[in-house]
Amino acid sequence: MDGLARLRLARTEGVGHVMHGRLLARHGTPEAALEALGRRAFPRDAALREMEGLAALGAHLLFLGEEDYPPLLALLEDAPLVLAARGDLAAFGRRGVALVGARNASGTGRRFAEDLADALAVRDICVVSGLARGIDTAAHTGALRSGTTIAAVAGGLDRPYPRENAALQERIAAEGGLVLSEAPLGTAPLARHFPRRNRIVAGLSLGVVVIEAALQSGTLITARLAAEAGRELFAVPGHPLDPRSRGSNDLIRRGARLTETVEDILLHLPEAPAEAPLFRMPLLAELPEEPAEEPPPASDAAAQVIEMMGSTPIAVDELGRRCQLSAPRLSALLLELEMAGRIETLPGNRVALA
């Protein structure tokens, strides 16, 4: 089956960008590389199952270096070796602009994002975002009013997250847009996948527009990745007393373009990424670091947390005392378990098994 060997090679544990290049250089073809890897290679059966699953979804596989791979994304040093894509690949032909921002965005912020996305789509620009709650959702929704949008998701294409956006994901794929994922089918979106998803959002775009981002937010990771990749950075200002504007105001202070209307973007959107980062890097070092791609396995602690939870809701504070975990550690675990669909968060800072 076409692409099977490339998929197996890309999915093989420990084969990253550098190793992939070395293997191909040494062995000539993916097939020969796989043969050299022997039993370490990703299993043929699993790859076949994935390809069948993708075919059932009507999805394509895009391999780095092949013609249909998005050219801007290919410029990244750590471009994904493989992407699963559902929808219309013609979306790659349009200039991409990412709209990113807080999940807990204000109503004003969401309305602004929706209208800005619409205005960009009217001008034949493809709006890129991450299908998250808040600004992402507003951006995709606004863009679909008049044009195209690309959603890069953190989990497998068959695991829409958040669940409430499953219908939006379907709409994007059906209405001329694209849904992209680097993760194999069946992958539940875990915290560590999100910075990887963010680099795809940035990589697909000539410019990234930050709308409502707190300091130390994931949105600023996307901004940093975009700047490092020579993409233009835009930020929507807000009042200093609104904590949701701290991140975007700070970006403006560091050199991002103050953005009030679509004209501010059109005026400064380049035809191609810059060779060097447009952003002043020494200052950027103060931005939050991308979390390590492979954190130490959390399974023991996570299992302990699950064990301590009964069928009835429990207060997070109480759970922390039972598990003897620090508050930040516990909330990281709870976030991961929630993303994996194992638990759900309830009002009053309580949690329960899903």
- Residue ranges binding its own copies (CB under 8 A): 108, 111-112, 236-242, 245-246, 249, 252-253, 257-261, 264
Quote the longest CA-to-CA distance of the chain: 60
CB of 236 to its own copies, least distance (A): 6
Helix/strand/coil percent split, the chain, to 5: 50, 15, 40
Nearer to its own copies, 264 or 290 (CB): 264
Nearer to its own copies, 31 or 264 (CB): 264
Measured between alpha carbons, how far is 159 from 186 in angstroms, rounded to an integer? 6
CB of 284 to its own copies, least distance (A): 17
Nearer to its own copies, 30 or 238 (CB): 238
Nearer to its own copies, 26 or 253 (CB): 253
For residue 190, the tally of other CB atoms under 10 A from its CB is 17
For residue 311, the tally of other CB atoms under 10 A from its CB is 6
∠98-102-106 over CA atoms, to 5°?
Answer: 115
Nearer to its own copies, 66 or 260 (CB): 260
Q: Which two tokens stand for residue 222?
A: 């996307």
CB of 248 to its own copies, least distance (A): 9
CB of 29 to its own copies, least distance (A): 53
Is 27 in contact with 36 (CB distance < 8 Å)? yes
Q: Which two tokens stand for residue 20?
A: 């992939």
Alpha helices in the chain (DSSP H): 4-11, 17-27, 30-37, 44-57, 71-74, 107-122, 135-146, 166-174, 193-203, 218-228, 246-254, 262-268, 281-284, 299-308, 316-323, 327-339
Angle between helix 246-254 and 218-228 (nearest 10):
20
Measured between alpha carbons, how far is 319 from 332 in angstroms, rounded to an integer? 13
CB of 148 to its own copies, least distance (A): 24
Nearer to its own copies, 224 or 244 (CB): 244
Nearer to its own copies, 111 or 321 (CB): 111
CB of 108 to its own copies, least distance (A): 6
- CA 231 from centre of chain: 16
Is 101 in contact with 210 (CB distance < 8 Å)? yes
CB of 190 to its own copies, least distance (A): 34
CB of 202 to its own copies, least distance (A): 23
Partner residues linked to 128 by β-bridges: 98, 150
DSSP annotation of 291: P
Nearer to its own copies, 63 or 112 (CB): 112
